[in-house]
Amino acid sequence: MSPDHILETAFAFRNSKALMAAVELGLFEALAKGPKNAEALTNQLGLNGRGARDFFDALVALKLLDRDDSPHAHAHDDHNWRAAYVPVAAAALTSVLAIVALLTGTSLGWTAVDPLMGVVGAGLIVHWATGLCRDAAGQLLDVLPSTDTAQAMRRTLEAIDDLRIADLHLWAVGPGRMACIVSLVSAAPRETSYYRDLILSRWPLAHLTVELHQCRLGHAA
């Protein structure tokens, strides 16, 4: 029996569970009328923004879904891209500095240039790596550089009719890109699309989920 067959059998249950989850959520019915982007599909199925992306990626890997997007979209904002780029750039930089140190030391006799270039290269690499770790850690811990956006969004929404915000959560999904989940309560709520369009017209979010609840007891505007 080959190792490939053993691994295929071991992962068969996991693959079938992913397929059953997609069927139970109605994912294929949602796509029957035409393709949708990840945000629209996440909102239609009522999924959590973070888990939805991993779920869709798993279905694409299992060839149960097809993805049609540009491989270079937002490449400069992606931490994975930066993590791949930094070691390559560091290797190129150290090579250049080594050549400069060699030529300078050979032609001018400055033997101190070699260790000096080593220190300069190490300092730049540490600076790049520290920035990458800081940005990635901030994204993993849902750290926002400022609360101004959340406060402005809260003021804007609560100025509409008798609307109140039950929960508002903003988090960074990349440099300069944010996602948002907001739960709204109103005695006479408008269409969900109204609030979505209002938010997206003022804040260019990478992902937005709007939960709308009607308060049947009524409350002061």
Check residue 157 and give its pLDDT: 92
Cα–Cα distance measured from residue 86 to residue 65, given in angstroms and rounded to the nearest whole number: 32
How are beta strands 207-214 and 177-186 bridged, if at all? parallel
- Let me know how many helices (H) and strands (E) the chain has, helices first: 8, 3
How are beta strands 164-174 and 177-186 bridged, if at all? antiparallel
Is pLDDT larger for residue 89 or for residue 12? 89
CA 114 to chain centre: 41
Check residue 127 and give its pLDDT: 83
Q: Is the pLDDT of residue 202 over 60?
A: yes
Q: What are the Cα distances from residue 175, in Å, to 53, 134, 206?
A: 18, 11, 11
Check residue 70 and give its pLDDT: 42
Contact yes or no for 183/165 (Cβ under 8 A): yes
Cα–Cα distance measured from residue 37 to residue 42, given in angstroms and rounded to the nearest whole number: 9
Cα–Cα distance measured from residue 55 to residue 42, given in angstroms and rounded to the nearest whole number: 10
The string of pLDDT tens digits covering residues 45-87 is 888 766 777 778 778 777 777 776 543 334 344 556 566 666 7
The string of pLDDT tens digits covering residues 166-182 is 999 888 776 667 788 99
Lowest pLDDT segment from 13-17, 44-48, 70-74, 191-195: 70-74
189-194: Cβ within 8 A, 24+ apart: 189/163, 189/213, 189/214, 190/160, 190/161
Beta strands, E only, the chain:
164-174, 177-186, 207-214
Check residue 84 and give its pLDDT: 64
Q: Is the pLDDT of residue 5 over 50?
A: yes
Q: Is the pLDDT of residue 29 over 80?
A: no
Is pLDDT larger for residue 209 or for residue 215? 209
Percent over 90 (pLDDT), the chain: 10
Is pLDDT larger for residue 220 or for residue 127? 127
Q: Average of pLDDT values for 8-28?
A: 69
Mean pLDDT of all residues belonging to the chain: 76
Check residue 199 and give its pLDDT: 92
Check residue 98 and give its pLDDT: 81
102 band by pLDDT with thresholds 50, 70 and 90: confident
Whether this prediction's pTM lies above 0.85 is answered by: no
* CB neighbour burial string for 6-19, b if at least 16 within 10 angstroms, e if fewer: eeeeeeeeeeeebe
